[in-house]
Amino acid sequence: MGNLLETIREKAKKLNRKICLTESDDPRNLKAAEKLVQTGYARPVLVGREAAIRVLAVENGISLNGVEIADVEKAPNLPKYIDTVVEIRKNKGLTPEQAREWLKDTCVFSAAMVCAGDAHGYVAGGGNPKGYNHNTAGKTRPALQLFKTAPGMKSASACFIMQLPDPKWGFNGALFYADCGLNINPDAEQLAEIAVATARTFKMFTGAEPKVGMISCSTKGSAHDPIIDKVIEATAKAQAMAPEFEIDGEFQFDAAILPEIAAKKAPDSKVAGYCNVLIFPDLNCGNSIYKATERLAGATAIGPLVQGLRRPFNDVSRGCSADDIVDCACVAAITEWVG
């Protein structure tokens, strides 16, 4: 059995879906588009200004054979996308003239393509400091405004698939971490939503049952503080929101993943020691732990994968490689539309 990343790539290849890449002024995205065509994982669309994209490809020796280019200023379907975003944002008073200007933003254009049914999802990876240079908010805002959150979700969140070399962890070596890239200090209700969203993401990608551990500096009352109380409250809320999933906590990290530690610290828990989904109390913790796992344990970090939206969108970090963009495009390709 291959690891989860290999499974995701093969699923994406069979689906053959169209995925937009927004940072087309960055050679990494052009290289990712070339690789997507070569591997057949997805049909890439480079969104930007066509003349500049073609010059950049020549300068970097990248072939754009088989790569679709969507020019934000003169694409044939631009009128369709103007109508699409005006309809979605009509309650905000968006005019066609404002929409035309807004669509010059490659993330907005990509989100509009998806909403219009001309692409399945979009990936915003890397970025040229002298070019589009979207920050996380600039990449994510169009998805929130045009895709909107999925039914039952008030906010979006970001998870990582951490593919470890040793298959004994999680699902054949894959652990799901959240939130590691979006919500800085979620309250108990938001943390519960993050847990449920990540459980659903895990099940969608693996077909297996999630075992969700709510991570803290305490295990089952071993310490007391308001920061721990938040995790305890979030655990109860998540259990009530999704009784079909096994969600438990609060756990220290070792109690969540090591059966011998769990037997001592949380002997009555059904998931302690065997968690495959780990939910962190805030972004300081989540972001640090995913980077530590990546660098110290030799894990491949796939993400951040934005969840809780109606349509697929992934925001890849500024330090990403072309291969990272390819993998996030594969994840977007197999993520199903909601609502």
The average pLDDT across 165-194 equals 95
In a domain, 78, yes or no: yes
Stretch 36-59: mean pLDDT, rounded?
97
86 with 140, same domain: the answer is yes
Q: Which two tokens stand for residue 194?
A: 């993050």
Rg, the chain, Cα only: 20
- In the chain, how many domains are there? 2
Tell me: do 319 and 268 sit in the same domain. Answer: no
Find all residues with CB under 8 Å of 42, minimum gap 6, and list them: 12, 16, 17, 18, 19, 36, 329, 330, 332, 333
Lowest mean pLDDT among 53-62, 144-153, 242-251, 263-272: 144-153
| Residue 30, both tokens | 């052009």
Residue 29 in any domain: the answer is yes
Q: Do residues 181 and 207 share a domain?
A: yes
**Domain span holding position 263:** 160-300
Q: Are residues 111 and 176 in the same domain?
A: no
Q: How far apart are CA 154 and CA 171, in angstroms?
A: 28
pLDDT average, residue stretch 254-276: 97
3-state helix, strand, coil in the chain (%, to 5): 45, 20, 35
Query: Are 150 and 204 in contact, with CB atoms under 8 Å apart?
Result: no
Looking at the fold, whether 143 and 207 belong to one and the same domain comes out as no
C-alpha span between 93 and 104 (Å, rounded): 19
Confidence of residue 279 (pLDDT cuts 50, 70, 90): very high
CATH of the domain at 131: 3.40.50.10950
Domain assignment present for 188:
yes
Q: Determine contact, residues 107/142, Cβ cutoff 8 Å.
A: yes
Which pLDDT tens digit goes with each residue over 314-336? 988 788 899 999 999 999 999 99
Please report the pLDDT score of residue 1 as a whole number: 44
Query: Per residue in 224-258, pLDDT tens?
Result: 999 999 999 999 999 999 999 999 999 999 999 99
Per cent of the chain over pLDDT 90 is 86
pLDDT at 40: 97
Pair 11, 142 in one domain: yes
- Report the C-alpha gap between 296 and 160 in whole angstroms: 16
Structural domain contains residue 179: yes
Residues 176 and 101 in one domain: no
The pLDDT value given to residue 333: 96
pTM of the model as a whole? 0.89
| Same-domain status, 69 and 130 | yes
Summarised one tens digit per residue, pLDDT across range 76-95 is: 999 999 999 999 999 999 99
The reply to whether 154 falls in a domain is no
The rounded mean pLDDT for the chain is 93
Tokens of 27: 């050679």
| Banded pLDDT at 179 (limits 50, 70, 90) | very high
Which CATH number do you get for residue 212? 3.40.50.10750
pLDDT digits (tens, 9 = 90+) for 17-33: 999 999 999 999 999 99
Please check whether residues 286 and 326 belong to one and the same domain: no
Convert the pLDDT of each residue in 148-176 to its tens digit: 999 888 989 999 999 999 999 999 999 99
Question: Residue 339 falls within a domain, yes or no?
Answer: no
Question: What pLDDT, on a 0 to 100 scale, did the predictor assign at position 88?
Answer: 96
- 198, 178 Cβ separation under 8 angstroms: yes
Continuous segment of H or E residues that includes residue 279: strand 277-279
